[in-house]
Amino acid sequence: MAQGDRQQESLETLKLINAASTALRLYPEESSQVRNSIEKAYQGTKHYLRKNQLLRFSFLNGRYLLNGEPVDNPTRERLQLLTFSSQLQKMELDEMVLSKGFDRPTFKKILSVFSATPEQINRVGGSRAFIDSLKLAAIFPEAYWAPGESEEEKRKKRKVDQILKELSGGMVRSEHILYLVGRKKESALRRTLEEIFHVVESGAHIVASTTYSLVQILHKDHIVVVAPAFSKMLATISSLLSKDQYNKVSDAAATLLAPHLDQRVILMLLCQDFSSPFGEVFYKSLLRITDTETLTKVIEWIQGQQKQDDGKKSDKFMAQLQVISKAYEKLAATSRGKQVIALGTTKVILQQTERGRKGARLQSGITALAKGNLASLKNSEVCQNLPATIEKLLANDKESVAAAIIQNVVKGLAKKDHELRPQLALALGAVAHKLSCLNRWDWLEKLTPVCLAWIRENEVADRSLEKNVLAMQAMMNHAWYSDNNSLAEDILDVFYYIRSGAFEKNDEIRKLVGRIQDKNVDVLLLRGYLERCFVRPVDEMICRKIIMQGPVAARFLLDTLIASDKRADRIRLLKILSELGADLVPVLLERLPDPMPWYGKRNIIRLLAVTGSEEDVEEILSYASHDDLRVQQEVLQCILRIGKSSTARYLVAALSGSAVQTKIQVVRNLRPLADESLVEPLAGLLSECSFYGGADKKTLALEISKTLGATDSSMALVPLQSIIDGGRNQFGQESVRAAKLAVALIEEKENSQRSGLDARVEKHQEARTAAVESVVKSVPPPVEKEYEPITDYPEEREVYALLGKDKAESAKKILSALIEKTAQLRKFNEAEALRLRLIDIDAMALAEIIRAAEIIEDAKSNSIDQGHILIWSDLYDLLTTEEFNVLYHSLEHETYPTETIIVKQGDPQWRLFFVNKGRVKLYFNEKENETLVKTVGPGNVFGGASFFDDSVWTLNAASMGSVELSTLSMKSVDEWREEHPAIEAKIQDYCLRFDKVNDFFLSTGAERRQEERIPLADSIHIILLDDSGELTDTTIRGEGSDISTGGLSFLSRITQRKQARTLLGRQVKIFFSDSEGHEKQVSLSGTVVAVRNLYSAEPGRSVHISFDTELEAKKMTDLINGN
């Protein structure tokens, strides 16, 4: 993205933030203006950060910066108009840095900074203290850091700065260097330098530091050039120094530079112009202090550049070649240069002589090897050159000689006590690898059993193993493509058994095999296998072949999972990936931070819950504050599944930044783990309730009350009392009641611990709920009796056995644990029956009885919240993160007991129903009978026809057993239709899968309307009646469609849905006109029961009216015939 484009995006996002902060100052916090502007700014900022990762606004030294870059004048002028910017300047805050991960409460805190009054700021001790009190120090940091500078760049910069500091000796200033290179010309500065150069030490420091500074500047161009500034420096120094000082100053400067003269620096220096008087002396000093090895490398590099002959050369290369060639000529003319070049020539001659002798030795060794004399392998040269020798033999049609050599190597390796086995193994691996490079697969296939045997046997991760593994990897890939599956599977099995630990090998061997396999996995091959995994019936062996390919295959599967838009494919991929077990975890953690859709994050965390361990939870905690609630829910499930002994700690950590709905579930799940350590974080969470509103705030306070009560800690009394003091208006009646009950339980326990169960227990019993009191009063004194088992669990039988031994306390503990177990298993009827059994056993065990009721209630709540997203995953997977959040938070949850009417036929009910649990029957009344149309269960929707077609209900809906529903109102849809228009269409498409009511009537011939409908050609107009039955001024006109004795329908040009809905249920007067426009002397009255969209090229809707009084058949006939 161009820098200008990103700055423009940044500016637009800041304008949204500014608008929200302005609304917060001007309007009441609960007003729609504030809510809408904050939500728009929040979503806009999140969208920007998903795309750009970071939004950074800075005001430094009177300049505006966006993302570390200065802004242009038009952008600066716009930024000056933003009021939040002036507020930051008043508070002396230089920076605002927004990154991914903050939630709505944090965003609201950020906005509160821009609307804070001076009194609020000063009350806590000033701007920085105010920021710290809001925990926003990371958003508004104190220090500015330069963007885009890597740690490596910083390290190099620090190193150069340190060298320059050392070379200057504290005597050199920047203006000294500028004068030497001709950038400054003040006479006073020259006089200062003349005085400095009178002293050899100070003069040497100036020469050394200036030289090194210029070389660093030259390095930035990444090309060797002659710098005019360098020759200017030497010429200026020549004029500042007397000739008798040249040698002393140049030698001293060269000595200072010596520790820092590597090959790169020397090359750059030797290519400069040293033609000035001082320059000639300095050149010789530099040559003198450069070691021979460094100078030799420089000469060899120049010679290599001169010998390059790769066709067309660039102008840049030719310019550099000219510079280095001139430098080489000058160097070669010096005595030091001649000496080093001569040494190099001698070295080349010796190397050529050695190559000749080496060839003779190799020929002798190979000949001996072909004859079966393996002793020649003791010579490392023979071993190293054996693959090249085999290649030459095969190229020269000497296959018999090559075969003889290989056979001798194999025979020697077969002897386990052979003294040369390491050399033989290395020779085998090298030859096998060479055969794979030559595509001699027929030869390599014959060697495969030997190579695999050595891989299984070897216990050292050496070169012989590496070469053998490389060869077998290549052979396996070729075998897959050649349909030689048995051979490929033999090799894959060996690799897999080594990597999985089935073969006992050390870590070095497993890493070596893994590295080679990962580097050479054929992704095209994996893709072909994966396509076959989606074809039914699924070949499990194909899936196994994929996962046996290691981490690369895992990454491939994971990438495919993230990119897949088919739910069935994703489910299959999740199953395949989960079979990788712990080996998958590093791949998941590596991929998790990468940008991806919400469902990619969710699926990775879901896999981690199956394959990960307790310590892996640390890596996912930050996603508890993810934008998408579905990801937050998955984090919670992962913690509960693999958190083990650290579950409570991880759940507390997940509270920070998560959505309020997730916080509610976290607090619920903390309840079974509650102890004194949870009081402080829960008290802190309670203080955050002020940032929430409505039902969410009250539900969170209720869960906090219950969990604080479960801690049994006196420390919880303070936050519980704050809920009681806040009262029902702030926290809700249920929260206050739960807090009072928790206080009573904690105080009762404290009193019991201090003095046992005495009269004070009676006092606290009076504070119990009316329900518990009535149960206590109704239970007779305990008598010994036999109990009928409620469950098949052995724990229940143990309870009764203990009661028979008069061990009631132990029995109650086991029974309480069994109640929790059945509740967690969602066997709520059994759990409730066991709770009643607990009352039956000991009605005075109030703490256990109340705790059992809470456990059952919590389990029911969790099963709804956590199960809801899973049940509706088909629908939710169609939605973006923003769309999901909007829909999810618009749903209301309701429960209906057995055989309860949910909706009646004829009701104007504008709600859509989602079944979470239980079954609902849909039926219609036919005379005095009920005709069942269908039953719907979890994951089904009903009410779509009335919801989307604006009609009254044509069916009845009633619960069959206990039913849990989520409902969506048309009012909610109206609120977000403009901003999220796609949601309604997606829901309607989803509903079409389930709305099969019309199919019932088509297939059975049943009819909800008993009267025959007859076409009607008249023009119609209706006039709406008021509450008293009088005509109003509102008239609707249209063309007749059909009529029966019970009602009629006509087509009207009603285009707006809102207008259509206002007609439903209205009493109307109906008038008729013939084709010539003459009004008939008849009028009828009725009620509008439906206004349906025509979904045709012609805009409009059909209006359906039910007559108040059934029309006589003769009157209807006369009306149709025009009489």
Q: What is the pLDDT of residue 826?
A: 66
Q: Annotate 729-749 with DSSP letters as a single string.
A: HHH-HHHHHHHHHHHHHHHHH
Q: 952 phi and psi, to 5 degrees?
A: -70, 165
* List of residues 6+ apart from 836 with CB closer than 8 A: none
Q: What is the pLDDT of residue 1001?
A: 44
Return the minimum-mean-pLDDT range out of 56-65, 468-477, 991-1000: 991-1000
Percent helix / strand / coil, the chain, rounded to 5:
65, 10, 25
What confidence category does residue 310 fall into, taking pLDDT thresholds of 50, 70 and 90? low
pLDDT at 57 over 60: yes
Q: What is the pLDDT of residue 784?
A: 54
pLDDT at 1104 over 80: yes
pLDDT at 247 over 90: yes
pLDDT tens string 93-115: 888 999 877 778 888 889 989 88
Q: What is the pLDDT of residue 582?
A: 84
pLDDT at 760 over 50: no
- CATH level 3 topology of 872-1004: Jelly Rolls (2.60.120)
The average pLDDT across 933-956 equals: 81
Closest CA to 898 of 919, 922, 916, 923: 919
pLDDT at 540 over 60: yes
Q: What is the pLDDT of residue 289?
A: 92
CA distance 942 to 958: 12
pLDDT at 131 over 60: yes
Q: What is the pLDDT of residue 945?
A: 74
Half-sphere exposure of 790 (CA within 13 A, CB side): 20
CA distance 891 to 941: 13
Q: What is the pLDDT of residue 906?
A: 78
pLDDT tens string 387-417: 888 888 888 888 888 888 888 888 888 887 7
The average pLDDT across 239-253 equals: 93
Q: What is the pLDDT of residue 766?
A: 52
pLDDT tens string 488-517: 889 988 998 898 888 888 989 989 998 898
pLDDT at 62 over 90: no
The average pLDDT across 988-1001 equals: 64
Q: What is the pLDDT of residue 680?
A: 92
Q: What integer best gives the mean pLDDT of the chain?
A: 82
Q: What is the pLDDT of residue 539?
A: 65
Q: Is 855 exposed, middle or buried (0-12, 13-18, 19+ CB in 10 A)?
A: buried
What confidence category does residue 1006 fall into, taking pLDDT thresholds of 50, 70 and 90? very low
Return the minimum-mean-pLDDT range out of 369-373, 380-384, 519-523, 833-837: 380-384
CA distance 554 to 547: 7
Q: What is the pLDDT of residue 694?
A: 73
Half-sphere exposure of 475 (CA within 13 A, CB side): 31
Residue pair 574/606 in contact (Cβ under 8 Å)? The answer is yes
The average pLDDT across 727-743 equals: 88
Tokens of 890: 């618009």
The average pLDDT across 986-994 equals: 80
What confidence category does residue 639 fall into, taking pLDDT thresholds of 50, 70 and 90? very high
Q: What is the pLDDT of residue 466?
A: 92
User: Domain-by-domain residue ranges, the chain?
Assistant: 3-133, 154-333, 361-493, 675-748, 768-863, 872-1004, 1014-1121
pLDDT at 605 over 90: yes
Comparing 50 with 446, the larger pLDDT belongs to 446
Q: What is the pLDDT of residue 890?
A: 82
What pTM does this model have? 0.51
CA distance 767 to 9: 60
Residue pair 599/877 in contact (Cβ under 8 Å)? The answer is yes
Q: What is the pLDDT of residue 1003?
A: 43
For domain 1014-1121, the question of CATH label 3.40.50.150 is answered with no
What confidence category does residue 878 fall into, taking pLDDT thresholds of 50, 70 and 90? confident
Return the minimum-mean-pLDDT range out of 211-215, 260-264, 595-599, 1031-1035: 595-599
pLDDT tens string 682-706: 998 988 887 777 778 888 999 999 9
What confidence category does residue 32 fall into, taking pLDDT thresholds of 50, 70 and 90? confident
CA distance 835 to 818: 10
Distances (CA, A) of 1074 to 689, 1018, 1051, 1078: 66, 5, 15, 6
